[in-house]
Amino acid sequence: MTEPLLQLRNIQKSFGGLRVCDQIDLAVVPGELHALIGPNGAGKTTLLNLITGLLEADSGTLLFKKKDITTSPVHVRARLGMARSFQITSLFQGFTVKENIMLAVQALDGSSYRFWKRADSDPNLVEPSRHIMERMGLLHRAGMPASQLSHGEQRLLELGMALATEPDLLLLDEPMAGLGPGSTRKMTELIRQLKGSLTIVLVEHDMQAVFSLADRITVLVQGQVTATGTPDTIRANPLVQEAYLGTSC
């Protein structure tokens, strides 16, 4: 098997007496879109938080690009090439779409925010920002404050900001949440276009999107990995069908 880009070995996490992640083993290989699914409260978001470093595991090992990052803080993991789609609340609401994207590009470039005025005419920032806005279908919104965007557009901006850091591993936490059918289709298509050019871990409740996008799916139930496999294997797994009884996977 290809050497994993991200590997979790025997990861445990409890909140008080509640074990939320229990002996999690997970290998994400380069270039794949690996979806994490499971019923509400299964521990998916907690697992993403453990991967990005927002939370620290109680025990177990996390490897990224073969480096042990088990205790590394968020910014070290980000510098190594991990990005998570920002929550809408962390967009700079008063800044325009272009300014938000430029800030994210600037973070990659390492230059200081106090040079903002110059940054606005710096082709090294302007060109990549323009490219990202174009890719996200947000070019026509470049001058609009983030606060005035629709919910779907804000989610696209979030994704654009994550991509601006040119990650090797992109973690997406429910990118379709709260989107209508049109925006969901648009987001699905965008994620499909990203596939292959980077490795993606996707947490999503929209099973249609998950099953159409994922190369492999890991199913979490009550903090444990119940199954990992291709969409077809997962669909046919009786344990998964039991966990998802009543849903359309």
When binding is defined by CB under 6 A, the residue of 42, 102, 170, 194 that contacts ligand ATP is: 42
- CA–CA separation, 124 vs 183, rounded Å? 30
One-letter amino acid at 228 equals: T
* 34 versus 44: smaller Cβ distance to ligand ATP: 44
Which residue, 40 or 112, is less far from ligand ATP as judged by CB? 40
Question: In the 8-state DSSP scheme, what is residue 41?
Answer: T
Short-list 182, 180, 201, CA closest to 191: 201
Strands (E), 136-223: 169-173, 199-203, 216-221
- Judged by CB under 6 A, the stretch of 42-50, 95-103, 115-123, 163-171 that binds ligand ATP is 42-50
**Interacting residue with ligand ATP among 1, 15, 110, 121 (CB under 6 A):** 15
Name the one range near ligand ATP by CB under 6 A: 38-46, 96-104, 116-124, 187-195: 38-46
C-beta closer to ligand ATP: residue 39 or 229: 39
In angstroms, what is the minimal distance from the CB of 42 to ligand ATP? 4
CA-nearest of 173, 179, 160, 55 to 105 is: 160
Q: Does 209 bind ligand ATP (CB under 6 A)?
A: no
Under DSSP, is residue 134 helix (H, G, I), strand (E, B) or coil? Answer: helix
Q: What angle in degrees, to the nearest 10, is found between the helix axes of 97-109 and 123-135?
A: 120
Strand partners, 8: 26, 62
41 binds ligand ATP (CB under 6 A): yes
Q: Which is nearer to ligand ATP, 44 or 98 (CB)?
A: 44
Residues 43-102 binding ligand ATP (CB under 6 A) are 43-46
Burial, 168: exposed, middle or buried (Cβ in 10 Å; 0-12, 13-18, 19+)? middle
Q: Please give the size of the binding site for ligand ATP, defined by CB under 6 A.
A: 10
20 vs 136 by CB, closer to ligand ATP: 20
| Among 40-48, 59-67, 129-137, 231-239, the segment contacting ligand ATP (CB under 6 A) | 40-48
**Which of 38, 13, 4 is CA-nearest to residue 244?**
38
Q: Which residue ranges make up the site for ligand ATP (CB under 6 A)? A: 15, 20, 38, 40-46
